[in-house]
Amino acid sequence: MGSLERTLPLTRSSVLEAHNLIKPYIHLTPVLTNTTLSTLASTPQPPDALKGTQWEGQEPAKPKIRLFFKCENFQRIGAFKVRGAFHAVGRLVEELGLEEVRRKGVVTHSSGNHAQALALAAKTFNIPAHIVMPTISTPSKVAGTKAQGAIVHFSGSTSQEREAVVEDVIKETGAALVPPYDHPDIILGQGTMAVELQEQVSELVQQNSGLGVHGDTRGMDAVIAPCGGGGMLSGNAVALAGTGIKVFGAEPSFEGGDDARRGVEQGKRIETVKTLTIADGLRTPLSDLTWKVISDPSKVHSLYSVTEDNIRDAMRLVLERMKCFVEPSAVVGLATILYNEDFRRLVEREAGGEGWNIGVVFSGGNTTVEAISKIFAAPSEKGERAEGVLGKDGSKAAENVAG
């Protein structure tokens, strides 16, 4: 990567500069609304749904919410990661010169979306890309990375094994390391989605004030994004700092996957995570850099976690009601809005009677029909197939849900 001494500061103005740099190479992904999901978000959960949870016996929250979905599943390579990859490569070219970067190449270690994103960015500038991937990586993601012309080096699955192969590549080629999330250039690139989301929601409610919860042209009140290594959540937080828009993070709780939430609660970063949550893109702990942003309450208001059943239920709703193809990691924010009573009570309390317009980041759609089939065929945490707010026949559980 470029020298840390020469990176732009983590500020909104730097995100705007990053956006100008990468605009020619990324898609302006759509922002979608959905009446059914906004109605569900504004409907109190049935008391039976809270049985067996920490909220059992409590009165369900009654928030008022309108949802605006930033669909990064329609981004190039099917995920937001190209934003950070194109910004990092672009900054390298600005700092070192295109010929020097082409001579040495770039390198990273990733089993998924960042691998494909960096491969695409490098191919665009005719730069050699070395991607270190664990031998257990999904074959379709390996194929996608190779399809972009990258040189794939296989390694063991642990971070130490991956980093050792990266070091070998750097010694042999002099390639510049472009990490998946632990660098300011990556964070600033990812934050460009929040700039777009803010503008797009504003345009939508100006065109049709009925789309917003306020009934007027006021735009976004809050954004919620998935959190794994924290690059995207940090970028969103930096981009929206000082705008008055609150930023929230969402994680899976399974096997301690909510390390960011627990770390902030304890006041200390949790350095290792070992979880097999179905939200496989969120199995990574925060880095020192992303921790500094995410643990700052002036940037990230708070973090919440959801169960595997919550994630399945939210994914089913998106697939069936929005007709939108997403991976499990993409829906943890929506799952939080629908099923986490702590978050729902916060909206009810802080929004008062007006409610909030909430931007929801769909981070990606890189999964397969086979993988989705396995997710819904697996037993739920309750010992049966997760049905959530949908009945077993796919009908609405809440009578007042329409369209």
Structural domain ending residue among the three candidates 181, 196, 228 = 181
Q: How many residues does the chain have?
A: 403
| CB distance 281 to 327 below 8 Å | yes
Q: Are strands 222-226 and 302-306 parallel, antiparallel or unpaired?
A: unpaired
CATH classification at residue 222 = 3.40.50.1100
Which position among 14, 110, 111, 137 bears the catalytic label?
111
Range of the domain at 151: 81-181
As given in the structure block, the two tokens for residue 313 are 């239920």
What is the per-residue pLDDT for 352? 83
For residue 165, being part of any structural domain is answered with yes
Q: What is the rounded average pLDDT for all residues in the chain?
A: 91
Whole-structure pTM value: 0.91
Distance of CA 63 to the CA centre of its chain: 23
pLDDT bin (cut points 50, 70, 90) of residue 5 is low
Question: 137: pLDDT confidence band, cut at 50, 70 and 90?
Answer: confident
Q: pLDDT of 253-271, one tens digit each?
A: 999 999 999 999 999 999 9
User: Strand, coil or helix: what is 359?
Assistant: strand
Q: Is residue 59 part of a domain?
A: yes
Distance of CA 400 to CAs 35, 37, 39, 321, 339, Å?
11, 12, 8, 15, 18
As a whole number, mean pLDDT of residues 185-208 equals: 98
The pLDDT value recorded for residue 389 is 37
What's the confidence (pLDDT) of residue 256? 94
Q: Over 90: is that where the pLDDT of 173 sits?
A: yes
Q: How far is CA 148 from CA 69, 166, 190, 318, in A?
A: 28, 19, 21, 29
74 and 85 belong to one structural domain: no
What is the chain's percent helix, strand, coil content, to nearest 5?
50, 15, 40
From CA 212, how far away is CA 359, in angstroms rounded? Answer: 11
Give the integer Cα–Cα distance in Å for 236 and 233.
Answer: 5
What is the mean pLDDT of the segment spanning 173-179?
94
Query: What are the distances in angstroms from CA 301 to CA 69, 88, 248, 296, 345?
Result: 20, 27, 6, 8, 14
Q: Above 50 in pLDDT, residue 396?
A: no
Q: Are residues 100 and 160 in the same domain?
A: yes
* CA 220 to chain centroid: 18
Residues 302-328 have a mean pLDDT of 97
Count: domains in the chain? 2
User: How far is the C-alpha of 358 from the C-alpha of 377, rounded, in Å?
Assistant: 31
Element (H, E) at 282: none
pLDDT at 381: 64
Express each pLDDT in 211-223 by its tens digit: 999 999 999 999 9
157 noted as active-site residue: no
Q: Give the model's pLDDT for residue 2.
A: 52
Together in a domain, 103 and 92: yes
CA distance 293 to 310: 27
Q: What's the CA angle centered on 318, arms 313 and 323, to 5 degrees?
A: 140
In the predicted model, is pLDDT for residue 60 greater than 90? Answer: yes
Q: Angle at Cα 77 formed by Cα 30 and Cα 332, nearest 5°?
A: 65
**Rounded mean pLDDT of 124-145?**
89
pLDDT tens digits for range 23-54: 999 999 999 999 999 999 999 999 999 999 99
| Residue 160 pLDDT > 90 | no
Same domain, 260 and 372: yes
**pLDDT value of residue 1:** 56
Judge if 199 and 309 occupy the same domain. Answer: yes
Same domain, residue pair 359 and 309: yes
- 125 burial via Cβ count (<10 Å: 0-12, 13-18, 19+): middle
List 70, 81, 141, 246, catalytic entry = 81
Active site residue 104: no
